[in-house]
A = this chain, B = another copy of it.
Amino acid sequence: MATVDNSMVAHLPLFAGLTAADLAEVLREARSSRFAKSSAVFEQGTDATSFFLLLHGHVRASKTTPSGEQIVVRYVAPGEIFGVAPAIGLPHYPATATAVDESVVLVWPATAWPRLVARFPQLATNTLQTVGSRLQESHTRVVEMSTQQVEQRVAHALLRLAKQSGRKLDHGVEIDFPISRQDIAQMTGTTLHTVSRILSGWEQQGLVESGRQRIVLREPHKIFVLAEQTPGDNSTR
């Protein structure tokens, strides 16, 4: 296992306020690990024995209900921490993490967390900010699911994915990892059929260009307008 290149991760929010020496000390406890496309990094319900930082690739965090339905919690982009169950005191992972790409992650043993936090309190503060912004995102999602129609929710979801993991092409912005209609349905609380119909409609209007697990936003601004439009604006809900 090679030493991690410190300079690559030094600027990440997780390590804000740490000196180079501190960083080296933190990284010394981590090992890096590679995950093939579609392989699981960890499974919902299993012991939370590690926490992670994504270096390359993309990871999908999803939850499965007792009755077998799945929902996508979030997509993790490079530079983000995930599997933070140990940091928030959960003995088991509340979700499954799957590499959707060939992915490389840093892995710390859960037992390192208390030690690292005691030594570098900044880590706790930085993680608190990260978890806090995820809480905001989750609340945003609740608001959207409560107040918007499916088409608006899908539009918002795609815009967010494009912002987080978009690759600029000359004819638009492409979501930088394989994503299916089913995935989008699980992000927006609908069915793959409805997502398919919506994307087909957008395709005919020239808003998107999409195929098998692949979506290009051709007219992000028009999609944004779609996302914001309130069909029937009911303020009493």
Which residues from 67 to 121 on chain A have a C-beta closer than 8 Å to any C-beta of chain B? 67-71, 73, 84, 87-90, 94-95, 117-118, 121
Once A139-B94, A234-B69 are accepted as A-B contacts, the answer to whether A88 and B133 lie under 8 Å apart by CB is: yes
**CB pair A139 B67 closer than 8 Å:** no
CA distance A14 to B73 in the complex (A): 27
From residue A167, how far is it (CB to closest CB) to chain B in Å? 27
List of B residues within 8 angstroms of A149 by Cβ: none
Q: Is the interface of A mostly helix, strand, loop or mixed?
A: helix
List of B residues within 8 angstroms of A6 by Cβ: none
When A and B form their complex, which 8 residue pairs have the shortest distance between CB atoms, in order from nearest?
Answer: A88-B132, A146-B189, A68-B235, A138-B138, A121-B121, A124-B124, A89-B129, A69-B147
**CB pair A135 B88 closer than 8 Å:** yes
**Interface of A toward B, CB cutoff 8 Å:** 63, 65, 67-71, 73, 84, 87-90, 94-95, 117-118, 121, 124-125, 127-129, 131-136, 138-139, 141-143, 145-147, 185-186, 189, 191-192, 230, 233-237
